[in-house]
Amino acid sequence: MNRQSLKYFFLLLLFVSTQSFAKIDELRSNNVRKNINFNQGWKFHLAYDVRKQPEKINVTLPHTWNAKDVLLGNINYKRETGIYEKSFQVNTRWKDKRLFLYFEGANSVASVFVNCHFVAEHRGGYTAFCVEITNFVIPGTLNTIEIQVSNAIRNDVLPLCGDFNVYGGIHRPVSLLVTSKNCISPLDYASPGVYLTPKDISAASATIDILSKLSLSDAAKFEVRTEIRDADQCIVGSAEEGITDDRQSTQTIKIKKPHFWNGKTSPYLYTATIKLLKNNQLVDEVKQHLGIRYYQVDAEKGFSLNGKYLDLHGVGLHEDVQGKGSALDTDDYNKDMQLIKEIGANALRLTHYPHGKYFYDLCDKNGLIVWSEIPFVGPGGYSGDGYIKNEALEEQVKQVLTEMIRQNYNHPSILFWGLFNELKLDHDDPVPFLSQLNSLSKKEDPSRLTACASFLDNDRFNDVSDLIAWNKYYGWYDGEFKQIGTWADNTHRLFPGKPFAVSEYGAGGSPFKHTESDEKPVTDGKFHPEEWQTRYHEANWQELNKRSFIWAKFVWALADFGSSIRKEGDAAGINDKGLVTYDRSVKKDAFYFYKANWNNAPMLYITDRRNIDRHQSLTTIKIYSTVLNVQLIVNGAVLKSASPDQLHIIKWENIRLKKGLNKIEVRGGAGSNILEDSCEWTLK
C-alpha cells in the first residue's frame, strides 16, 4: 500500500470510528432518560372566568397569581383556582418511551388533565409530584396539558394557618421526563428513585447502602450497576447486581478513607451513578450527590459534626421575595445564599415547609446544616383553632412528611426533619398523632433526627421527637432582652436530658424609621425603629452565645416576608423581622452585627448610620468591627482609638455633634489591610 492509499485508509478508519462512536452516543442518548425544561409556553387565567373565550395571559413558570395582591394587607387575599394550559408536540421517536410530568411544587391542590382526560390530583403545595402521561398523549400530534391549581383554604390540606402567605399557582419549575419502558422509578413519591445511606463511618472507611426503586415491564435480564466517584471523578467504589425482584435493588459499597462532608469547612461531595441495564444495554441512569458525615446532639455538649463541636447558628428563611411571592428563580435562590454566606451562618431552618430542590442543592454545596420541616403549622400566639383531629388531614400530613423525606433523602446538608411549628393544646391533644409522625419519620429515615418548634413553656412535646426547640421573643412581644438567658438555664435545669434549641428569636425593624431614645416600640404599631431591632439582637445573642448546650440558635428571619395578617411596621402585609428588606436591597444594622460575630472576614461598620437627622448634641457612636485599634474621626478631628469587645462592638460615648452637617469616619487595621467606613449626620 503506497503512502497516498495509506492516508485514505486511515481517513476512512477515522471516519468509521467517529461514526461508530456517534452511533454509540446516539444509542446512549436515545436510551437514557431526558429531562426537558417545561416552564415556557403556558397560558393562565383564573377559573371564575367561565366565558367561552376567557382572557388568558402568557406566563413562564414558576408563577403565582397573588404575589402583589397580598401586599395590600388584605387578609382575604385571592385563595381560589387558577388554570394553566400548554400545548406541546410529542416526538414520534418517543412512541416506545414513557413520559412523565414532574412538578416541583403547585400550591396547594393540583389536578392534571391531558387531552381533556383527568390524570391525577396532588394535595400539598410544597412537595414535588410526578405524573405519568404515557397513555394519554399521542406521538406526532399536538397534545394539550391543563393544570387546575387551587390555593383555597381547606381543612384537609396543609398549611391550615400561619404567619405567612399561601401563594397560589405552579410556583416551582416543571419538567418533562422521558424514559425507556424500563426505568428507575420517578413515581416513588416523586423521589429520585435512589436512596443513599452512609453508615459505619470512620476515618478508615464508610459503607454506603444503595436502594434503587425500579419500574420494569419486560421479562428480561436486568442489572443495576452503581459507581461512586470522588470530586476528581475517580471511581472509589462500585457494585453490580442482577435483578430478581422487579421492584428494587439493594447494593453496598465500601469507601476507604472517606473525605467527610464537613459543613462549611469542607462541603465535599461524591457522585453516585446508578445505571439500569437490560441484556447488558444501558436503559436508564440516575446521578445523585453523596455526602459522608456523622453527627450528634447532646443535652450538655450541644451539636457535633464528625466528632467535633460546632456552634450551630443561622437564620429562618421563607421562600418569598417582593413582587414574586414564592415563585422564585435560580437568581433569587443564589442571592439569598450569598446573603447567608456573607452573614456567616452555618445553619438554616427552612420554614415552614420544604423548599425548592435547587436551594437544597445550594445548601449541600455550601456546607449549610439544614432543618427541613413540613407545613404542619399552628396559629401560635394568634387566635384560631389548635389541633382538631381530622383523619383526612392526618393522612395528608403523613403524605407530605413521606414526600419531604423521600424527595430530599440524599441531601447531606439536611440533618433534621421538622414535624410541626407552634401547635396549640386548646382542642384535641396532638401528642398521639405527633408520635405517629415521629415513628413514620424513623421508618422512612432512621439516620436523621426529628425536631419540633414550640412556643409553649411546658414539656408536652418533649417526647414526640428526638429534639425540641422553642420560639422565644423576649424583648419584643414580652419580657426583657436578657430573659432568654434565664429561660434557657431554667429549661436546661427542668429537662436535663433533653437537647433543646432556640428555633426563632427576633424583632421587627425598619431601616427607614429611627429613634435616639431607648424606649421600646409598640410591637403592633407602625413605628419599628431599626435601632431597637439592633439592640434586641445584641442583647439576645450575648445570652445565647454563652450557652453551648443550646444545640442551635436561629434568628427570625433572614429577610422580611409577606404575611397578610400583619398591620404593623412600614407597610401592611409584611412581617418586618428580617435582617434584610423584603426586596433584599437593604441590609439592616442587625445583619452587620451577626456578620461581625459569625463571619471571620475583616469588616468595619458604623451602626445607626441611616438615622441622619439628629436632635441630641451628645451621642454614642457605635460600630461593629473584626479588626483592632479602630480610630474614630469626627468632623476631621481624630479621637481616641479603641478595640472591639467580645461581641465585636466598639462604643464611643458622649461624642458631641455640631449644629448642621457632621461627618463620622472610622479607620482600622494595619499595613495594606486598612478598612474605612463613614457616614454623615445632621444635628437639627
Displacement of CA 145 from its chain's centroid (Å): 29
Backbone angles phi, psi at 404, to 5 degrees: -60, -45
In the annotation, is 422 catalytic?
A: yes
Q: H/E element holding 489?
A: helix 483-494
Q: Which of 132, 285, 422, 538 is catalytic?
A: 422
Among residues 183, 80, 98, 166, the alpha carbon closest in space to that of 134 is found at 98
DSSP-derived secondary structure for 447-460: TSEEEEEE-SSSST
The residue among 391, 371, 365, 325 whose CA lies nearest residue 164 is 325
Q: Which of 165, 189, 594 is nearest to 352 (CA)?
A: 165
- Is the bond preceding residue 108 a cis peptide, omega within 30 degrees? yes
**Phi, psi (rounded to 5 degrees) for 489:** -65, -40
| Kind plus residue range of the DSSP H or E element containing 365 | helix 357-366
Per the CB < 8 A criterion, the answer to whether 646 and 613 are in contact is: no
Sign of the C-alpha dihedral, residues 166, 170, 171, 176? positive
Instruction: Give the three cell numbers for residue 500.
Output: 433543646
SS3 584: coil
DSSP state of 609: T
Beta pairing class for 347-350 and 613-614:
unpaired
Length of the chain: 684
CB 683 within 8 A of CB 614: yes
Positive/negative CA dihedral, 241, 242, 244, 245: positive
Distance CA 414, CA 255 (A): 22
- Cβ-based neighbour number of residue 160 at 10 Å: 20
Q: Where are the beta strands (DSSP E) in 577-629?
A: 604-606, 613-614, 618-625
**Which alpha helices (H) appear in 291-355, and where do they start and end?**
330-343
Torsions phi, psi of 100, nearest 5? -130, 145
Cα-Cα-Cα-Cα dihedral sign, residues 171, 175, 176, 180: negative
Dmax (CA) of the chain? 101
The identity of residue 89, as a single letter, is Q
**What is the C-alpha to C-alpha distance for residues 531 and 606, in angstroms, rounded to an integer?**
12
Can you tell me the distance from the alpha carbon of 322 to that of 582, in angstroms, rounded to the nearest whole number?
6
Which amino acid does the sequence have at 456? L
For residues 617-633, one letter each, b for 16 or more C-beta atoms within 10 angstroms of the residue's C-beta and e for the rest, the string is: eebebbbbbbbeebbbe
CA separation for the pair 159, 123 (Å, rounded): 11
Q: Please, what is the Cα angle at 474 between 470 and 478, to 5 degrees?
A: 115
**Helical residues (DSSP H) of 599-673, grouped into ranges:** none
With contact defined as beta carbons under 8 Å apart, do 4 and 18 qualify?
no
Extended beta strands in 540-583, E state: 552-555, 561-562, 574-575
Instruction: Enumerate the active-site residues.
Output: 422
